[in-house]
Amino acid sequence: MYQLLVSLEVQAPPGEPIGYIVQKWHPCLPKFVIQDENKAAVLKIRGPCCLSSCGHSINFKIKNLDESKTIGKIAKNWSGMLTEVLTDVDNFEIDFPMTLDVRIKTTLLGACFLIVSMKVVGKHVAN
């Protein structure tokens, strides 16, 4: 099964781009680049190799451009066996520095929606 690389444009107000999320190809890891309104890379997001959440959270690390420092995370929190098996409910958390530009914070929120919509951290990977 092949999955196409995806990207997302974040707009605020509608019609005015403030940032982009671009998936980068990697054979094992989900990787994304956060770009500003000029499409200049600002941050990177790297997901785990194993996307199973059995008993623990799945963390996507928000990193600086050279990936030497983790500055935050997007996490799918474990909700318990019954909730995970019997429902389609997910609980996400986003942590980032308060000093980030509000447009980048909004783009990171968009990255969370992109990760959820791709079902990267769920029952299956979308095709």
Listed by start position, the domains of the chain span 7-123
66: Cα separation from own chain's centroid: 18
Q: What is the pTM of this model?
A: 0.83
DSSP state of 91: E
The predicted-structure confidence for 43-87, as pLDDT tens digits, reads as follows 999 988 876 666 778 899 999 999 999 999 999 887 777 776 787
CA nearest neighbour of 19 among 116, 121, 113, 122: 113
Phi first, then psi, for residue 29 (nearest 5°) are -105, 140
